[in-house]
Chains A and B, each alone.
Chain A
Amino acid sequence: MTIPMEYGLLLAAILFCIGLAGVLVRRDVIFMLMSVEVMLNAAGLAFIVGGAARGSADGQVMFLFILAMAAAEVSVGLALIIQLYQKFKTLDADSASGLNG
Chain B
Amino acid sequence: MNILFYIAACIAIIATLRMIIGTNAVHSLLYLIVSLLSVSVIFFLLGAPFIAALEVIIYAGAIMVLFVFVIMMLNTGSSGVKKEHELLKPSTWIGPGITSGILFGEMLYVLMHPASHPMTRAEIQPAAIGALLFSKYILIVELAAFLLAAGVIGAYHLGQKEKLSHHRYLKKEEPTI
Query: Which positions in A face B, CB cutoff 8 Å?
Result: 1-11, 13-15, 17-22, 24-28, 30-31, 33-35, 37-38, 41, 45, 48-49, 51-53, 55-58, 60-61, 63-65, 67-76, 78-83, 85-86, 90-92
Contact = CB atoms under 8 A, between A and B. Distances in A.
A47 B154 CA distance: 28
Helix, strand, loop or mixed for chain B's interface?
Answer: helix
Given A65-B140, A72-B150, A15 B13 contact: yes
A90 B87 CA distance: 12
A13 B5 contact: no
Interface in B85-104: 87-88, 92-93, 95-97, 99-101, 103-104
A55 B117 CA distance: 12
Interface in B36-55: 36, 39, 42-43, 46-48, 50-51, 54-55
Interface of B: 1-2, 5, 9, 12-13, 16-17, 19-20, 25, 28-29, 32, 35-36, 39, 42-43, 46-48, 50-51, 54-55, 58-59, 62-63, 66-67, 70-71, 73-74, 76, 80, 83-84, 87-88, 92-93, 95-97, 99-101, 103-104, 107-108, 111-112, 116-122, 124, 128-129, 132-133, 137, 140, 144, 147-148, 150-152, 154-159, 161-162
Contacts of B36: 41
Given A11-B12, A78-B70, A26 B148 contact: no
B9 A80 contact: no
Contacts of A37: 32, 59, 63
B46 A49 contact: yes
A11 B148 contact: no
Given A48-B43, A65-B140, A76-B158, 4 more contacts: A18-B20, A45-B39, A68-B147, A72-B151
